[in-house]
Amino acid sequence: MNKELNSNQLISNIIEGIEKVKGTDITIMDLRNVENTVCDYFILCNGASNTQVAAISGAIQKTVSQAEGHQKPWHVEGEMNAEWVLIDYVDVVVHIFQDRVRAHYDLEGLWGDATFINLETNY
């Protein structure tokens, strides 16, 4: 299986995990045409509270593990305070924010050269 197909399936599984616990404001940032990036994609989403941010993180990891043959993230950061959790799957990095934290760090502004895909949520 090629890398792009792997990334697309991983992204699909991550989005499914986010939607299971009603994460909002889902954005896929394609960084492949940006110089000196650490990965190919960022996926950003919001949770309304520490509890929801933690639940989104858990749902993503469980969904990816079940779908991808027990694949675990390379690194996870921020689960203790659950204001900004980062899940690193090497080529795809997930950022789960509380609203005010996402606004403060403005990753979309910092990585403005990326291609953005904003997903609609129906809940």
**Hey, what domains does the chain have and what are their CATH numbers?**
3-118 (3.30.460.10)
pLDDT in tens, 82-104: 999 999 999 999 999 999 999 99
Whole-prediction pTM value? 0.93
pLDDT of residue 68: 77
Most distant CA pair in the chain: distance in Å?
A: 39
What 8-state DSSP symbol labels residue 107?
H
pLDDT digits (tens, 9 = 90+) for 22-47: 999 999 999 999 999 999 999 999 99
Half-sphere exposure of 26 (CA within 13 A, CB side): 19
Pairing of strands 75-77, 92-98: unpaired
Residue 89: exposure state from Cβ atoms within 10 A (0-12, 13-18, ≥19): buried
